[in-house]
Amino acid sequence: MNFIFISPNFPHSYWNFCDRLKKRGVNVLGIGDASYESLLPELKGCLTEYFRVDSLSNYEQVYKAVAYFAFRYGKVDWIESNNEFWLEQDAALRTDFNIKSGVQSSQVASFKSKAAMKPFYAAAGVPTARQIKLSDLAAAKEFISEAGYPVIVKPEIGVGAEATYKISDEKALEDFFSSLPSVPYVMEEFVCGDIYSYDAIIDSEGNPLFESSAHFPPSVMDVVLENLDMAYYVLDKVPEQLRKRGRATAKAFGVRSRFVHFEFFRLDKAKKGLGRKGDFIGLEVNMRPAGGYTPDMMNFAHSLDVYSIWADMIAGKKASDPDAPSPESYEDLPGNHFCLYYGRRDESRYAHSDSEVLSKYFSNMAMHERMPKAISGAMGNQMYTLHAYSQQELEEMIAYLSEKAELLAYSV
């Protein structure tokens, strides 16, 4: 099997995907814009060959790289980046090279467009917030007359919380329309609740081989807009309603052979047309693994290897196989617990220094490093990933890491 991995060096932990494929006898071929010399030794050891292009955004160059690999190694069976930014290009390459193992160009809109997602949620029986495509100020005001302030406006097609705004009054609304972006936008009613994810590895028959969930107390949108610390954690177990609605969403979207990251709101209070307090409602789907080091956090929380489960899926493993464990069984493994990610900001002053954090949580520390500038806006500059063995310990960690230093006042 020939597997082309696009941008296998970012995030740098993605070498694990390549490593597990190679261990299953897959011929792994890399295409990226980083120099070969800059690749991690672990990644170099996984790749049969690496083709460097000047820019991954140059489709012609990437196309030629795929054509070269097809000429040199024969039929290409898979093309994948596992990266939101390259999903459309991945699909275009599959379509142009007649590779049927993944999403095609004709399917991308259904999960890239926030408006196009709505009918699929409806088919799954999963409630979602009301939404309109933005056309003019009058239509926006009519929507707000029904939904009320605040509202959220965001690009119809966009990554994460990029260029997303919360509008709380008419002046802010008029200001937004006075410099309306050139790309299509949607407006959505504001929902009070925290974000939870349904993360899963889906087999070729559309069934989950593995499931996990993470809780995002500050949403990525709030983190970016308000320059907050990033704090989120992988749960020890998937809430049952979230599991059911995540599976229904995967079925409605026709997901096959993918690692997925679906986002849901958990309602803080009952909302007419959406559900009761504690219910999960659909936010958006992402047809790739959760960002950053979340796959590693799943490993830490569940004492397993999601990279291997994913590679088994690529190699043909199905949930219906007699020896396949159920997704629920992973939650019963010994030592199942929480895993916290906390990202601090360089511009903030904290009560507890980096050395104090490392000393206090030495036995809990799973990862500790600086985040790349490209993702520090959402993820913070200095990250800590920690094992937490109870909800109380988790909350104590967040309180300790977030505590700010007192500003001393001096009299003149």
What H or E segment, with its residue span, contains residue 162?
Answer: none
How many domains, in total, are found in the chain? Answer: 3
User: What pLDDT score was predicted for residue 343?
Assistant: 95
Residue 344 lies in a domain: yes
User: What pLDDT score was predicted for residue 219?
Assistant: 65
Q: Are residues 98 and 16 in the same domain?
A: yes
Q: Are residues 227 and 243 in the same domain?
A: yes
Contact present, 238 and 301 (Cβ < 8 Å): no
Domain edge (last residue) among 79, 111, 143: 111
Contact present, 319 and 256 (Cβ < 8 Å): no
- CATH number for 8: 3.40.50.20
- CATH number for 147: 3.30.1490.20
Mean pLDDT of 11-36: 97
Residue 92 lies in a domain: yes
Alpha-carbon distance 328 to 72, whole Å? 42
Q: Please, which residues have CB within 8 angstroms of residue 46's CB and are 6 or more apart in sequence?
A: 8, 15, 18, 19, 21, 22, 28
Contact present, 66 and 97 (Cβ < 8 Å): yes
Q: Are residues 199 and 173 in the same domain?
A: no
Residue 116 lies in a domain: no
Residue 410 lies in a domain: no
Domain residue limits at 174: 130-189
Answer whether residue 28 shows pLDDT above 90: yes
User: What pLDDT score was predicted for residue 410?
Assistant: 47
Segment 48-98, tens digit of pLDDT: 999 999 999 999 999 999 999 999 999 999 999 999 999 999 999 999 999
| Residue showing tokens 């396949």 | 324
Q: Are residues 219 and 363 in the same domain?
A: yes
Q: Are residues 241 and 376 in the same domain?
A: yes
- Token representation of residue 357: 């954090």
Answer whether residue 409 shows pLDDT above 80: no
Q: Give the residue with greater pLDDT, 411 vs 10.
A: 10
Spatial CA neighbour of 8 closest among 350, 61, 23, 42: 42
- CATH number for 229: 3.30.470.20
Domain edge (last residue) among 154, 173, 189: 189
Contact present, 29 and 4 (Cβ < 8 Å): yes
Lowest mean pLDDT of 61-70, 123-132, 364-373, 398-407, name the range. 398-407
Q: What count of other Cβ atoms lies within 10 Å of the Cβ of residue 381?
A: 18
Q: Are residues 212 and 283 in the same domain?
A: yes
Mean pLDDT of 352-356: 97
Determine phi and psi for 245, rounding to 5 degrees: -75, -30
Residue 409 lies in a domain: no
Q: Are residues 76 and 166 in the same domain?
A: no
At what angle are helices 15-23 and 306-314 packed, to 10 degrees?
Answer: 50
Q: Are residues 177 and 199 in the same domain?
A: no
- The CA-CA-CA angle for residues 92, 98, 101, to 5°, reads 85
Q: Give the residue with greater pLDDT, 333 vs 211.
A: 211
Residue 118 lies in a domain: no
Q: Are residues 234 and 299 in the same domain?
A: yes
Spatial CA neighbour of 285 closest among 105, 43, 107, 165: 107
Share of the chain above pLDDT 90, in %: 84
pLDDT band at residue 109, thresholds of 50, 70 and 90?
confident
Answer whether residue 220 shows pLDDT above 80: no
- Average per-residue pLDDT for the chain: 93
pTM: 0.92
User: What pLDDT score was predicted for residue 412?
Assistant: 45
Q: Are residues 172 and 201 in the same domain?
A: no
Answer whether residue 221 shows pLDDT above 70: no
pLDDT band at residue 374, thresholds of 50, 70 and 90?
confident
Residue 124 lies in a domain: no
Alpha-carbon distance 343 to 328, whole Å? 30
Segment 166-218, tens digit of pLDDT: 999 999 999 999 988 888 999 999 999 999 999 999 999 999 999 999 999 86
What is the DSSP secondary structure assignment for residue 269, as one 8-state letter?
S
Answer whether residue 351 shows pLDDT above 60: yes
Residue 120 lies in a domain: no
What is the DSSP secondary structure assignment for residue 407, as one 8-state letter?
P
Q: Give the residue with greater pLDDT, 407 vs 332.
A: 332
Segment 149-175, tens digit of pLDDT: 999 999 998 765 568 889 999 999 999
Show contacts of 350-354: CB within 8 Å, 24+ apart: 350/401, 350/402, 350/403, 350/404, 350/405, 351/403, 351/404, 351/405, 351/406, 352/400, 352/401, 352/403, 354/382
User: What pLDDT score was predicted for residue 227?
Assistant: 76
Q: Are residues 204 and 162 in the same domain?
A: no
Q: Are residues 97 and 216 in the same domain?
A: no
Domain edge (last residue) among 58, 79, 111: 111
User: What pLDDT score was predicted for residue 111?
Assistant: 84
